[in-house]
Structures are given as structure tokens and as C-alpha cells.
Structure 1
């Protein structure tokens, strides 16, 4: 049976999942990589879209709407008497040389790039990261320099997102492997209780295919940008439940009477 048929059968048939335990280990590993690819698609798509839109907006806004400024002696200098806040559809840019803003009062904002008096702050998905200008040494930079830098990053977005996608996929695949190893422990416990004579290796294969339903469910939720409370726990619970149903389908060998 090919991998795509196995994917389909794993959505509804614990008996088929149980039968996959006899196949080669490399086919199961390949299936796990496919699950990792499915899981990563929505995140990589929105990561690419967010970076592309954000950096493109930043580059054009820096050139057209941001007033002149310079960073010198580890501080932001401008002729502004009050902070300049530029709201775009998917990005907010703050230029503040007055000291009005800090990381705390912009950390709840949406996607934001803020050049503040002593630091610059990037906010994405409600998470703020701040960097003091002093971290980079006693630099001197102007609006023109930062505009050129933003335009440069805008031109290499495809390469940046490709690198980030590869790194993200590697970490995701590794986490899937670890998850399968941990959940397979529950499978060996079920096998012992139910009196099924299967090895840990076979249980691990069953566990990998039992991850199909939660993988597809969270693929749909992530594609719709819908947050699922306690998603990891829900995924583990569903997988463990399917592992139990699959192991239950395995025939118990009847001892031969002498």
C-alpha cells in the first residue's frame, strides 16, 4: 500500500493502522516526514506572507512617510516634538526620539517596528524584542541608511523565507520524532494491559500513523488561522486514543495447548 492510501486509511481505520506495524522502518519514517510537511505548510505560508508584506511595507514607508532622523551616540535624534506613529494595514511604524514610548507600552501592539530614543523594538504576534543601539557599538545611521537596508532585505525575502522554512521544518520534524517516541511508551503500556505481544518498534510505527488525524485537524485550523486552546494536549490525547484503538485491533495469539 502506498503512503497516500495509508494516509487515507489512517483517518478512519484503527485496524489498518495496526497492520502497518509490520512494514519497514524507513517507510514509517518517510510517512512521519510527510506529516511534518503537512503540519509546516500553514506556518511557512503565513511566515512568508507576513515577512514579505511587513518588510515591503517597511521599505516603502521608510522612504515615503518617515521624517528624517539619525542614530548617533547610541541615541535616536530627530526634529520631532512628539512621536510619529504611522499605521499601515499590516504594520505600525513608530519614530520616537522624545522618550515617550518604551518596550512595555508597545508590546501589546500588532506587528510593529519602533525606533525609540535608546533602542529599537520589533513586535510580531504580540511578542516584543528590543535591541539597544549600544549593542551594535557606537554606530551612526541615518534614515537613508536604514531605508537602503530595508530595501535590501525586501529584495532577498525569497531567500530568507526559504532558509527559515528549512530550519523550521527540521525542528518540526525532530519534534514529531520525539513526540512519537514518547507516545509510543503509552502504546507499550496499552499492549501489556491488553495482552498483545508486540514490540516497542511496532508500537512506534502504530503511533506514527495514529498522528494522522490530529495532524490534519491542526493543518485545517492553522490554515484558517484559528487558535485551538491547549492544542498540544489535545493532539496528544487524540493520538493516544487512536493508538489504544489500533492496538486493541491486534489479534491476541492463543497459546498452543500441548
Structure 2
């Protein structure tokens, strides 16, 4: 079993190297069995997707820490009990800002001095009273009643203890992240297979759609490597998408030229 695993890993890294620097290998790639092609894509996503997801998890956990620190510093003490909210401090508490050209407001008033009508002049807003939360956006207004949580008792200290547990969702981020990356690459390969058929005609090559998809999977190696580096090192480089598809198209062109038989 160990020898098989080592051989499989060696085969993967050889294919990865050949897909990057040896266009003549694409003739062999076009003839690989589907099991090997899909296995290569899975390993490619695991290898190059891991640093991207770890970087995302790091940023997510740092944001949770920032949120907990801000909540501890700015949120007033409160008690939610028997379906009613009591906030300790000067009322009403009003937070107003302007984002994306629209005015937004958050109002907390458990004293009864104000009501949800304060949201009328705002496109987006939240009003919190003793008995309910009114959430308004450009499409609708929703109301959530605390009476639905009569058996629940929550304080500010409870929320501060709960917030760090959000970091546990990182496990799901990694799992679903890998699934998303794999499906995204598979869809890209499926669409690129059509481009391979076009290149096959232009170059007068005999190439089936299935062979085009196989070539596309291996042609994704360098673009995916660049994508991983960009996500970790230059996350703000928004023009990268164009570079990604330019590099992919170059590999597809030369991959078809080597992978297809002359017509």
C-alpha cells in the first residue's frame, strides 16, 4: 500500500510538472483514463486550495476576534429574559452611517420613547425595542418577536462567551471550500473542452470533446497555481481574472496542438 501511494504521488507530481513545462505530454494526457484525470484534479485542488483556505480561515478568525473586541467595548449591558429585552444605559441608542449612497440606522430603545417609525426616512435600518426587532431594507420589513424565545436568557457576557465559538465554522469553510473549488475547476474544464474543439478545428486536429476536457484539466495547473498565489499574496489584485484566462487559453492552444492527431 505504501509503495502504491508513493507511486501515485510520484505520478501526480510528474503530471503536474509535465503539464506546466512539457507540452508534448498533452498527447498522453488526452489519452489518460477518466479515473486518473479526476484524481489529478482532486489532488490539484487539495494541494493548491489548502493555502487559499487557510489564509481565508486566518482572516475569518481575526475578524471574529475584532468583532468580539468591538462588541465588548461598545455594546451596552443587556438582559433578554421571559421574552423581553432590557438594555442598561441611556436610551435611545442610535448608530447612523452612510454606505453605498444610502443612509443606514440602528436604533435601540427599550424604554418605549421611540418606535419603528424612526426607520421611515432610511432605506436600511434596524429598530430594537423591549419586545421585538424590526429590520428594514429596500425590499421588505421583517419583524422578530422576543416572545418566541421565552425560555431563553441571554446577557452581554453570554454573547462574549459565544462569539469565539464562531471560529468552529472554519471546519465547514474548509470542507465546503474544497468542494466548491473542485466543482468550479470541473466546470471550467467542461467549458474549456468546447474551446479545445474550436482550437482543434483551427489547427486541423482530430480531437474529441472528452479529450478536450482531459487536456483542460491539466491545462488548469499553472492558472490554478497563480490563482492560489494571488489569493494569498495579492488578494487586492482584481485584474487577475484576465491573466488567469489568458494563461489558460495559451495552455489550451498548445495542449491541443500537441494532444490532438493531425487531421
Q: For residues 189 and 245 of structure 2, what CA distance do their matches in structure 1 show? A: 10
Q: For residues 151 and 74 of structure 2, what CA distance do their matches in structure 1 show? A: 18
Alpha-carbon RMSD across the aligned residues, in angstroms, is 4.0
Structure 2 counterpart of 1:176: 185
Q: For residues 88 and 28 of structure 2, what CA distance do their matches in structure 1 show? A: 70
Shift of 1:95: 8.2
Shift of 1:29: 0.6
Q: For residues 53 and 150 of structure 2, what CA distance do their matches in structure 1 show? A: 35
| Equivalent residue pairs, number | 228
Contact 1:58 1:150 in 2 (8 A): no
Larger radius of gyration: 2
Residue among 87, 97, 102 paired with 2:108:
97
Residue among 46, 63, 85 paired with 1:37:
46
SS at match of 1:80: coil
Structure 2 counterpart of 1:157: 167
Q: For residues 104 and 177 of structure 1, what CA distance do their matches in structure 2 show? A: 39
Residue among 12, 27, 39 paired with 2:36:
27
Q: For residues 148 and 256 of structure 2, what CA distance do their matches in structure 1 show? A: 64
Structure 2 counterpart of 1:88: none
Structure 2 counterpart of 1:202: 211
Q: For residues 14 and 207 of structure 2, what CA distance do their matches in structure 1 show? A: 24
Which structure shows the higher helix fraction?
2
Measured against aligned partners, the alpha-carbon deviations of 1:166-218 in whole angstroms (never above 9, x if no partner) come to: 11211221111111101111101211222212222211111111111111111
Query: Unpaired runs of 5+ in structure 1?
Result: 86-93, 106-114, 122-130
Structure 2 counterpart of 1:48: 57
Measured against aligned partners, the alpha-carbon deviations of 1:108-140 in whole angstroms (never above 9, x if no partner) come to: xxxxxxx8644689xxxxxxxxx9661776447
Mark the CA change 1:76 to 1:53 in structure 2 (over 3 Å): closer, same or farther: farther
Residue among 223, 232, 237 paired with 1:228:
237
Mark the CA change 1:142 to 1:63 in structure 2 (over 3 Å): closer, same or farther: farther
SS at match of 2:238: coil
Q: How does 1:114-125 map to 2 (within 5 A)?
A: 117=128, 118=133
SS at match of 2:30: helix
SS at match of 1:22: coil
Mark the CA change 1:49 to 1:133 in structure 2 (over 3 Å): closer, same or farther: farther
Q: For residues 145 and 189 of structure 2, what CA distance do their matches in structure 1 show? A: 41
Shift of 1:4: 0.8
SS at match of 2:237: coil
Structure 1 counterpart of 2:113: none
TM-score by length of 1: 0.69
Shift of 1:239: 1.4
Q: For residues 45 and 207 of structure 1, what CA distance do their matches in structure 2 show? A: 26
Residue among 134, 137, 145 paired with 2:144:
134
Mark the CA change 1:96 to 1:140 in structure 2 (over 3 Å): closer, same or farther: farther
Contact 1:38 1:219 in 2 (8 A): no
TM-score by length of 2: 0.68
SS at match of 1:169: helix
